[in-house]
Structure 1
Amino acid sequence: MKAIFFDIDGTIYHPEIGISQNTIDEIHRVQKLGHKCFIASGRPTGFISKEVKSIGFDGYVLANGAHIVTEGKTIDSLTLPYDETKKLIEYVESQGYEYILLTTDRCYLKKESPHMYEFYAWCNIDMDSLCNDYDLDEVLKKTIKLEIRYNKKEDSVGLIERLGAFFYEKHDDSLNIEVSNIDTSKGHGIETMLNYYGLDVDDSYCFGDGANDIEMFKTVGHPIAMKNAIPMIYHHASIICEDVLHDGVAKELKRLF
């Protein structure tokens, strides 16, 4: 039995085409051969679209490894440090930035967040998971990841100065910073999943394209980069497949299995 881990955005999903039927069919074929197929994403549970859920993956490494789910149950989760997160949110609110708090089951976003509502509607997430009526302190105690939308590019400097206790990814194109626990990664989540199923690293594969996939590439036995990946990913890949718009995942699955 092999374990195959798939990133979502830019790997199996593209906003122009969604997830191709060829990719879905190949994932199902590989599962029928007895292999396990998992999502490994920076997205939390609430950001996993119904389109992705309907495929029937064997499990999920979510929020960059902070939440691991298989066989219908959570096998590991890690929250953000409460005190540091509370201080960060106080600063974010003082600057008038929008933000979303992400837990293992819900996404908490204030009504007065027009940019984020518009952005997430475009990102193909499960909008039903968004909650705008909540107790901030209670949610902070169970937050595994958060995202902040700043107002202009230079605002990111002040934010980054306050992120020493966290791992973060900055996206200036969308004025967004993703904030995760510094002690976790997709690689950590994959190790947890492999241990759960008693699988060897050499029996693991992954497909990815972004900076948060690097630890995943360092962890699995057979890292596969999409042709549309960022350049630094190529240095960690053993295989480079076709890009997402040309069914790269489907073609490589057919070749490998």
Structure 2
Amino acid sequence: MAAPTAYSLVATDLDGTLLRGDDTLSHRSRSALARVTAAGARHLVVTGRPAPRVRPLLRDLGCTGLAVCGQGAQVYDAGADRLLWSVTLDRELAETALGKIEAEVGEVYAAVDQDGVDGLTLIEPGYVMPHPTLPAVRVGRRDDLWAEPISKVLLRHAELSDDELAATARAVVGDLATVTMSGPGTVELQPCGVTKATGLALAAEHLGLRADRAVAFGDMPNDIPMFRWAAHGVAMANAHPELKAVADEITLSNEDDGIAAVLDRLFP
């Protein structure tokens, strides 16, 4: 059955967007996504979370298709439980980038997401997970973060705001990595040139879907490339001002089922 609207692809961020603050999905949102699927359109999760941290949610949603994970560094096939595509962040470049940032702002606390469907999230002493529900393994020293290939580095600073830390990181990192801000307390370094848009474009091409028939939902600056790729970008009421500034539409907050409110209109 063909989709009844101009959109055949619905791309949604997770934290602060599709999920409520307690990491749950409302009945209304589930029903709206079910209508999307019934109409013949595809729903793709596009998240900063690495594949291992998305698995339980995808199982809960009954998703057996693709998901874009790790800020676009991974395209994960939930049905086959394998990565169709992944790119890692060179660990020597990551260390160099961290050194440049600390030379400007003083000590930062770091964590990494390891590559692979079974990769761990490792956190160094002093780092506090912004999402306490997500599992992490504390290591004894920073050098332990580089033991295995990684998809990204997560950074926190004791005094600087996320905006201040991200701005400084962008100014000094150059082409060593791409700097993103994906949520409260979440400034990240990922492979240079990799964004949610690059991962979404790969997944869409694999599925035979087009950007001009895509609607995207998000809440943070890391969603800006995805909004620029898609035909229509919808920011949540709780979204960062930088994302609202480039959005085509602003909906209700994630706590108030903002995605469902738009999908109710697009997929009646």
TM-score (norm 1): 0.80
Given that residues 181 and 221 in structure 2 are in contact (C-alpha distance below 8 angstroms), is that contact kept between their aligned partners in structure 1?
no
Report the alpha carbon displacement of residue 53 of structure 1 after superposing the two structures with TM.
4.0
CA deviations on 1:188-224 (whole Å, 9 max, x unpaired) are 1111111111122222111112101111001012222
Q: Give the unaligned 5+ runs of structure 1.
A: none
- The 1:180–1:53 alpha-carbon spacing in structure 2 relative to 1, beyond 3 Å, is farther
- Alpha carbons of structure 1 residues 233 and 97: separation in structure 2 relative to 1, 3 Å: closer
1:193 aligns with 2:203: yes
Q: Which residue of 1 aligns with 2:90?
A: 81
2:153 pairs with one of 137, 146, 149: 146
**Residues 87 and 236 of structure 1: is their aligned pair in 2 closer, same or farther, counting only changes over 3 Å?**
closer
The answer to whether residue 62 in structure 2 is matched with residue 59 in structure 1 is no
> 1:82-130 CA deviation, whole Å, 9 max, x = no partner?
33124346789997653222123322425x636425x431xx32x2x64
CA distance in 1: counterparts of 2:54 and 2:194, whole angstroms: 19
Per the TM alignment, residue 22 of structure 1 is displaced from its structure 2 partner at its CA by 0.9
Instruction: Give the distance between the partners of 1:149 and 1:33, measured in 2 at CA.
Output: 42
Q: Aligned with 1:116: secondary structure?
A: coil
Quick check: 2:32–2:264 contact (8 Å CA) kept in 1?
yes
Tell me if structure 2 keeps the 8 A contact 1:108–1:132: no
Report the secondary structure of 1:54's partner residue: helix
* AA at the equivalent of 1:79: T
From the superposition, tell whether residues 147 and 234 of structure 1 become closer, same or farther in structure 2 (CA, over 3 Å): closer
For residues 158 and 215 of structure 1, the distance between their equivalents in structure 2, rounded to whole angstroms, comes to 20
> How big is the shift at 1:233?
2.4
Alignment partner, residue 232 of structure 1: 242
CA root-mean-square deviation: 3.2
Equivalenced residues, count? 248
Cα pair distance change 1:196/1:46, threshold 3 Å: same
2:9–2:41 Cα contact (<8 Å) kept: yes
- TM-score norm. by structure 2 comes to 0.77
Contact 1:100 / 1:107 at 8 angstroms: preserved in 2? no
Give 1:109's aligned amino acid. Answer: L
Q: Distance in 1 between matches of 2:86 and 2:58?
A: 21
- Contact 2:51/2:76, CA 8 A, preserved across alignment: no
Contact 2:122 2:145 in 1 (8 A): no
Q: What is the distance in 1 between the residues matched to 2:36 and 2:182?
A: 34
Partner SS, residue 111 of structure 2: strand
Map Cα deviations across residues 14-67 of structure 1 (whole Å, 9 max, x no partner).
315732121122212321332211111122123337345411333211121111
Amino-acid identity (%): 22
Q: Specify the SS of the correspondent of 1:104.
A: coil
Amino acid at match of 2:76: V
1:107 aligned onto 2:143: no
Cross-structure match for 1:253 = 263
Is the CA contact 2:111–2:153 (under 8 Å) kept in the aligned structure 1? Answer: yes
1:120 is aligned to 131
Alignment correspondent of 2:52: 46
Residue in 1 that maps onto 2:177: 166
Instruction: Give the Cα–Cα distance (whole angstroms) in 1 for the partners of residues 157 and 69 of structure 2.
Output: 24
> Are 1:27 and 2:27 matched, yes or no?
no
- Give, as a single letter, the amino acid of the residue that structure 1 aligns with 2:89: L
